[in-house]
Structure 1
Amino acid sequence: MEMREYDLASSNHKFRVKGYWLDQISDFDQEVDYPVIIICPGGGFTFHSDREEEPIALKFNSLGMHVVVLEYQLIGNEPVYPYALQEMAKTIDWINHQPESRHVDKKKIILAGFSAGGHIVAAYNGVATDSKLRTKYQLDQYSGTHAAIILGYPVIDMTVKGSFPNDEKIRRSISPDPTLWQAQNLLNKNSKPAFVWQTRTDKLVYVINSLMYVEKMTELGLPAEYHMFGSGIHGLALGTYVTKKPGKNKYLNAGASKWVDLFLGWLQMMGFLG
């Protein structure tokens, strides 16, 4: 496995991605092209959580997938949107231009978003599959498309009272365009399949977020698998000792940690692995 960092740019904005590339297995009878997962970590749009970067990237590597971590635009002098959407489109385009020697299955690009990163992935699943929105947010200059998404305890609707971000000033610093505040309303009949999981007792991002997204997908007839675990805090990541914060056992959750196995089964069922 090779890990490398790359500097990319979209709309004159520089950003960084990290590639976790699988090697070929020498005793296979033929070469294998691997799917690739693009991870958008959480962090409240103010930082990129390390707990949702390399630990999850390596876990996905172990399932037989290349991984790219997207360090998207954060709140600062400029808003998160629309730059984060353009950065995702550029990253997909960049993956599509990887050399054949990288052995990427370019038809199996899967987007994974956690918490705030989940909003970027959820919104992209609507914007990038709608020709008018794709033009409006200047994504049409980039090639390639994603095949599916995975959302872990995602921010979906930024207007949910009491749920993050529970402040209009923060919402506008994330996106001055209210069109992007409610990712479920961006979905359309061309949006891609989704695997979604969250805990019912999430006190930061209320579980209604993921429920609304899956409900909208169901209305549109889009493939979706949803797991709501009975208990657990926000930001579990893997839910194991690998991503547990020191001295904080609340980040251990044997039940919710099963999301990885459930996701693997869904990938196989959908024909993305195996």
Structure 2
Amino acid sequence: METKNYKLQIPNHEFQVKSYWLDQIADFDKEVDFPIAIICPGGGFTFHSQREEEPVALRFNSFGMHAVVLEYQLIGNDPVYPTALQELAKTIDWVTNQPASRHIDKKKTILVGFSAGGHVVASYNGVASDTALRQKYQLDQYHGQHAAVILGYPVIDMTIPGSFPNDNKALHQISEDQTLWKAQDLLNQNSKPAFVWQTQTDELVKVVNTIKYVDRMNELNIPVEYHLFGSGIHGLVFGTYVTEKPGKRKYLNSWTSKWIELALNWLQMMKLLD
């Protein structure tokens, strides 16, 4: 496996992606093109959680997938949006333009988002599949498209009282554009299938977030698989020792750790993974 950091550019802005490229296996009788996961970690739009970066990338590698982590725009002098959407579009474009020698199955690009990164992915799943919105947010200059999304305890609707961000100042720091406050309202007939999971006891992002997204996908008759686990805090990632914060056993949850195997099964069912 080759790991490498790259600097990518959109107009007047530079950002970083981290790649985890699989090698060809010598004892295969032919070369193989691998699907790819583009991962957007959480962090409340104030940092990128490393617990949702390399551990997740390596797990997708173990499924026979390349992986790329996107260090998208955070709260700062400029709003998160629409820059974060443009960064994701550019990352897909960059993957699409990788040489054949990289052995990427570019028709099987899966977007993976956790928490705040889940909002980036969930929003992109609507914006990128709407011609007018692609033009409005300047995504139409980028090529390539995703095939599906995987969302872990995602922020969906940023206007829900008592749920993230639950702060009007932070909301406007994330986006001044109210169109982007509710990812469920961006979905359309051309949006891609989704695998979604959350815990009922999530103290930061209320369960109604995922319910609204899944309900809207059902209304549009888009394939979706949804798992609501009965217990667990926000930010579990795998719920195992790999992603446990040191000494904080509340980050261990053997039941929710099964989501990754369920996602693997779903990808196979959707014919996005052999």
Q: TM-score band (shorter)?
A: over 0.9
TM-score relative to the length of structure 2 = 1.00
Could you tell me how far apart the structure 1 residues matched to 2:56 and 2:91 are?
19
Could you tell me how far apart the structure 2 residues matched to 1:234 and 1:63 are?
25
Q: Which residue of 2 aligns with 1:181?
A: 181
Aligned residues: CA RMSD? 0.4
- SS at 1:218's partner residue? helix
Could you tell me how far apart the structure 2 residues matched to 1:74 and 1:35 are?
28
Could you tell me how far apart the structure 1 residues matched to 2:49 and 2:61 are?
19
- SS at 2:264's partner residue? helix
Could you tell me how far apart the structure 1 residues matched to 2:207 and 2:26 are?
45
Q: Please, which runs of 5 or more residues in structure 2 have no aligned partner?
A: none
Could you tell me how far apart the structure 2 residues matched to 1:168 and 1:105 are?
42
Could you tell me how far apart the structure 1 residues matched to 2:121 and 2:102 are?
24
Letter in 1 for 2:20: Y
- SS at 1:272's partner residue? coil
Could you tell me how far apart the structure 1 residues matched to 2:269 and 2:12 are?
40
- SS at 1:120's partner residue? helix
Q: Which residue of 1 aligns with 2:137?
A: 137
Letter in 2 for 1:170: A
Letter in 2 for 1:72: Y
Q: Which residue of 1 aligns with 2:2?
A: 2
Could you tell me how far apart the structure 1 residues matched to 2:85 and 2:12 are?
14
Could you tell me how far apart the structure 1 residues matched to 2:168 and 2:190 are?
30
Matches within 5 A, 1:13-162: 13-162=13-162
Could you tell me how far apart the structure 2 residues matched to 1:76 and 1:7 are?
19
Could you tell me how far apart the structure 1 residues matched to 2:40 and 2:195 are?
15
Could you tell me how far apart the structure 2 residues matched to 1:50 and 1:273 are?
26
Matched residue count: 274
TM-score relative to the length of structure 1 = 1.00
Question: 1:201-259, CA deviations, whole angstroms, 9 ceiling, x for partnerless residues?
Answer: 00100111011000000000000000000000000011100000000000000000000
- SS at 2:9's partner residue? strand
- SS at 2:250's partner residue? helix
Could you tell me how far apart the structure 2 residues matched to 1:109 and 1:149 are?
9
- Large movers: runs of 4+ above 4 Å: none
Identity of aligned residues (%): 71
- SS at 1:179's partner residue? helix
> Is 2:205 aligned against 1:205?
yes
Shift of 1:168: 1.3
Could you tell me how far apart the structure 2 residues matched to 1:129 and 1:230 are?
33
Q: Which residue of 1 aligns with 2:170?
A: 170
- SS at 1:18's partner residue? strand
Question: 1:82-120, CA deviations, whole angstroms, 9 ceiling, x for partnerless residues?
Answer: 000000000000001101110000100000000000000
- SS at 2:106's partner residue? strand
Letter in 2 for 1:190: N
On the 8 A contact 1:114/1:152 being kept in 2, the answer is yes
On the 8 A contact 1:11/1:86 being kept in 2, the answer is no
